[in-house]
Structures are given as structure tokens and as C-alpha cells.
Amino acid sequence: MNHSELLAWLRETDDDRLEILWGKADQARREHVGDAVHLRGLIEFSNYCARRCAYCGLHVDNQGVTRYRMSMDEVMVCVRLAHEFGYGTVVLQSGEDYGMTTDWMADLIRRIKSETPLAVTLSLGERSHEDLTAWREAGADRYLLRFETSNPDLYRKIHPDLGGRISDRISILNCLRELGYEVGSGVMIGIPGQTYDDLATDLLCFRDLELDMIGVGPYIPHPDTVLGRQVIDTESDQQPPRDERMVYKMVALTRIMCPWANIPSTTALATLNLVEGRELGLMRGANVVMPNLTPPEYRVFYEIYPSKACIRETAKDCHGCMGRRIESIGRRVGTGRGDSRRMKNTVFAQD
């Protein structure tokens, strides 16, 4: 699809026409990545952050956040749980936390790799080339870093630089690729000042960056952020809404543009529709979910946006919930690591 075709779908409001889009996306998903839904166990191990992203509740100036950093032993308890639950991957996520050192992280990665067969995905923000190299050498397999929007002016507005270093996530994504990581990125939908045109460009960027993993979710205003306090111009016919349907359109178009990618049905989407958001994401292009393994006493403090789904649940609750949701739509839980199929032009194996 080209830019104008993408734009037409993004602006489509006829529900019967949209059924065609859902159908195309679901078919592309089935043909390229199969019926397995891969489970990635999410461990939000630190909510310290040095940055001032205008949308995120964990930004450094937010005094209202109770900060925590889990010990290595606490993280390992979650990691073992992931293995027991049959997950193939753990995702280690934190704010951009420089109290978490290069060596500490490398030790943790080596420990996970020596004690379990799990794939390790990192989601730690804009770290230095040196850090990314050390962690890859320690055995990390994948890295997630959303570019959030392809509009350079909007990007700069919501990502203040840190210590004179210009925020350039695209160049970091290219480094990650060179270092041999599987690379993941994505965007938020409905950021104030974003346009339909920007979303179409986002989709073309996903394809051009040849991403292995692509996460898209609604922007959800957080009252303790610069952007959350901003009045949104709802009158503009250029501004896409941050509603459920807009997210499904982006999930579906992402699948069509990048048929081999691993695409999660995100927690932010589940937050918009607790009843069936996850399922509808999976039925309209997604093939991954990320059950939360963070201990309940910490997860309440990982509030990147308010009213986050799963905030009061335990790892076991989320595990059971995801399994039931996957089976309820006639899909199956994936086994194995669920590695990227992007480079493999083969019929999918039975995982």
C-alpha cells in the first residue's frame, strides 16, 4: 500500500468497509505467522527515569512517583516464573535508569541465559552504543525502542534532549540492527498535534526499517505530564482520535505492511477496552501478548499512563487471563521462543 491508500483506510469510518480491512489483516497474520500467540513475560524492574518525555508518567520531574528498582534476585524470581508458565521470552523493561549500570545489566542477562533457555528482550530506553554492545555480548536477543512518531517536529517537542545529547531513536534502531539484535519499535496513536498523514508515514517507516517487532497503542493522557495538561484541539480534522477503532486500524495496517513482524496486542489497547481489547487486537493483526510478571507491590508504581490494565493483578492472574483469552478466539498459545520470521521465507513450524 502507498501513502494515499494507507491514508484512505486510516480515515475510513464505514464499519462494513472496515470489516474488509480486519479480514485482510487476519488473513495476512494467519499466512505469515500462523495461529500461535507468543507470550512475552514483562518484568518492569525499575521505574527510575532520567528523561522528560512529555507523555510519560515516569518522567524525572514527577515527584508523585514512588521509585523502585528490583534486586537481581527479585528479577530472577520473575524470570523463573516465566519459564514455569511456559513463556519463551522475558522482556526486561525500565525507565532510562542510569542507576542500573552497564555491568549490573550484563550480569543479569548472563544469569538468565545460563539458568534458563529464555530469549531476553530489553526495553531500557536510549542507552549508549557501549551499553547496547555490552548487553548484546552478554546474550540479549532483542531490543524494543519505539520511535513514537515519524513527524520530526512533534518528535522533538515530546522528547527533550538529555545532557546535550540529541534524541535520535532512528539512529539507535540502526545500531541495534548492526549489533545483531532483533529490533522492535512502534508508535503511539492520537498524540496531540499528530495527523493522519503522520500515521501513514509511521506505517511506511515500519516497513522501511524492516522491524522484527512492532508495537502500536493509544496515547493515554497522564495528568502529571506536560502533554497530559495540554488542551487537545478536537476540532482539527487532521488529528486522529486516540480511540479503539483507530488502534485497530493501525494494528491491521501494520500487519499488512509488515506481514512477518511480531505484533503485540498491547496493554494500552486493553486499557481502552478491558472486556475484549486484547482479543480484537489479536483478531485484527496481532500475534503476541505480554503478560505482566512484575510483582504486585511494584507494578502499581509503574504508571506510565493512568488506569493501566492489569495493575492490581498478580503474575498468575495475568497468565491465566491471557491463556483463556487466546483460547476463546480459537487461537493457541505459542511454544518456543517465537523468534522473528522476517528473514525466514519458510512455512511456519508448529510453534
* Extended beta strands in the chain, E state: 36-46, 89-94, 119-123, 142-144, 182-189, 213-218, 288-289, 332-333
CA contacts within 13 A on the Cβ side of 243: 8
Least Å distance, CB 342 to ligand FES, is: 27
3-class secondary-structure state, position 14: coil
221 neighbors 151 (Cβ within 8 angstroms): no
Cβ proximity to ligand 5AD, 221 vs 295, nearer residue: 221
Q: Which partner in ligand 5AD, ligand FES, none is near 188 (CB below 5 to 8 A by kind)?
A: ligand 5AD
Q: How far apart are CA 223 and CA 187, in angstroms?
A: 20
Q: Which partner in ligand 5AD, ligand FES, none is near 226 (CB below 5 to 8 A by kind)?
A: none
Least Å distance, CB 309 to ligand FES, is: 6
Cβ proximity to ligand FES, 211 vs 293, nearer residue: 293
Q: Which stretch binds ligand FES (CB under 6 A): 50-58, 189-197, 256-264, 314-322?
A: 314-322
Q: How far apart are CA 17 and CA 3, in angstroms?
A: 19
Query: How many residues sit close enough to ligand FES to count as binding (CB under 6 A)?
Result: 8
Cβ proximity to ligand FES, 36 vs 310, nearer residue: 310
Q: How far apart are CA 268 and CA 219, in angstroms?
A: 8
Spatial CA neighbour of 290 closest among 85, 57, 2: 85
Q: Which three cell numbers stand for residue 175?
A: 545500531
22 neighbors 337 (Cβ within 8 angstroms): no
Q: Which partner in ligand 5AD, ligand FES, none is near 317 (CB below 5 to 8 A by kind)?
A: ligand FES
Q: Which partner in ligand FES, ligand 5AD, none is near 291 (CB below 5 to 8 A by kind)?
A: ligand FES
Least Å distance, CB 348 to ligand 5AD, is: 28
3-class secondary-structure state, position 213: strand
Cβ proximity to ligand FES, 95 vs 323, nearer residue: 323
Q: How far apart are CA 188 and CA 90, in angstroms?
A: 23
Q: How far apart are CA 333 and CA 232, in angstroms?
A: 40
36 neighbors 333 (Cβ within 8 angstroms): yes
Q: Which partner in ligand 5AD, ligand FES, none is near 135 (CB below 5 to 8 A by kind)?
A: none
For position 322 contacting ligand FES by CB under 6 A, the verdict is yes
Least Å distance, CB 58 to ligand 5AD, is: 8
Q: Which partner in ligand FES, ligand 5AD, none is near 219 (CB below 5 to 8 A by kind)?
A: ligand 5AD
Cβ proximity to ligand FES, 167 vs 314, nearer residue: 314
Which residue's C-beta sits nearest to ligand FES? 321
DSSP characters over 161-208: -BTTB---HHHHHHHHHHTT-EEEEEEEES-TT--HHHHHHHHHHHHH
Q: Which partner in ligand FES, ligand 5AD, none is near 322 (CB below 5 to 8 A by kind)?
A: ligand FES
Least Å distance, CB 306 to ligand 5AD, is: 8
Residues forming the site for ligand 5AD (CB under 6 A) = 55-56, 146, 148, 188, 217, 219-220, 222, 268, 304-305
Show contacts with ligand FES in window 272-311 (CB under 6 A).
291-292, 310
Cβ proximity to ligand FES, 201 vs 292, nearer residue: 292
Number of H helices, E strands in the chain: 13, 8
**Residues contacting 145, CB < 8 A, separation 6+:** 123, 125, 126, 169, 172, 173, 176, 184, 185
Cβ proximity to ligand FES, 228 vs 291, nearer residue: 291
Give the residues lining the site for ligand FES (CB under 6 A).
Answer: 291-292, 310, 313, 317-318, 321-322
